[in-house]
Amino acid sequence: MNTKTPRQHTDQQLVDKILGGDMSAFKQVIHETENLVAHLAFKMIPVAADRKDIAQEVYLKAYHSLPNFRFQSKLSTWIGQITYNTCLHYLQKKKPVLLECFLEKNDNDIENLANGFTENEAETRLLARELNESMSRAIQQLPALQQMLIGLFYHQELSLAEISGITNLPEGTLKSHLFRARQQLKQILLRMQKREEI
């Protein structure tokens, strides 16, 4: 999880410095946003070597497009948006099957995973306190879009509005995905725990 320290410069100051040729300001922007870029790249791009190229491409695009940045969102959201679009473009060009999985598989998966679960069914067991290991396995069972959403919400501590700015998905859709993701995680974890106890 990010430990957020107060920033010395505002987005406007950083952009002005970079446009003035101050590369240390650009380095600061990279350090501040690379976790977000890594998160998106890791969740969307299956090939490790390609992630490296994509991360560099993202910042080169950002650097060259910086004169066009209009401060309509936070600089980090804008870089997140470039990353998301670059990853989608990569999937479109190189892994169309994965793109389809990423964008369209979700609803079917949600229905499948939700099978056998009714909203107010009696839940008599508490989850174990040490969830970390089983949580990693449980998350892997979620659709890719929901895995990405969970990470952006919990690790990057982004609001749904910011995630919407990055992915261009409506906030309502994201809220619904987040709700279903947590609901499914709970079911998966309870099932895993039950299986381990048998």
Stretch that binds other proteins, among 3-11, 94-102, 165-173, 175-183 (CB under 8 A): 175-183
d(CA 138, CA 132): 10
What is the C-alpha to C-alpha distance for residues 41 and 43, in angstroms, rounded to an integer?
5
Give the Cα-Cα-Cα angle 176, 181, 185 (nearest 5 degrees).
155
CA dihedral 132, 137, 139, 140 (to 10 degrees): 150
d(CA 57, CA 37): 11
Nearest to other proteins of 38, 98 (CB atom): 38
Which residues ranging from 67 to 86 are in contact with other proteins (CB under 8 A)?
A: 82, 85-86
In the complex with other proteins, the residue whose CB is nearer, 119 or 196, is 119
CB of 12 to other proteins, least distance (A): 21
Does 89 sit near other proteins (CB under 8 A)? yes
Residue 25's closest CA among 80, 62, 58, 68?
62
Cα gap 82→77, rounded to integer Å? 9
Q: Is 88 in the site for other proteins (CB under 8 A)?
A: yes
Q: How far is the CB of 27 from other proteins (least distance, A)?
A: 5
Q: Does 140 bind other proteins (CB under 8 A)?
A: no
- Exactly one of 60, 96, 111, 112 binds other proteins (CB under 8 A); that residue is 60
For 11-35, what is the HEC assignment? HHHHHHHHHCCCHHHHHHHHHHHHH
Interface residues with other proteins (CB under 8 A)?
A: 1-2, 23, 26-27, 30-31, 34-35, 37-39, 41-43, 51-52, 55-56, 59-61, 63, 65, 82, 85-86, 88-89, 119-120, 122-127, 129, 131-132, 135-136, 139, 150-151, 154-156, 179, 182-183, 185-186, 189-190
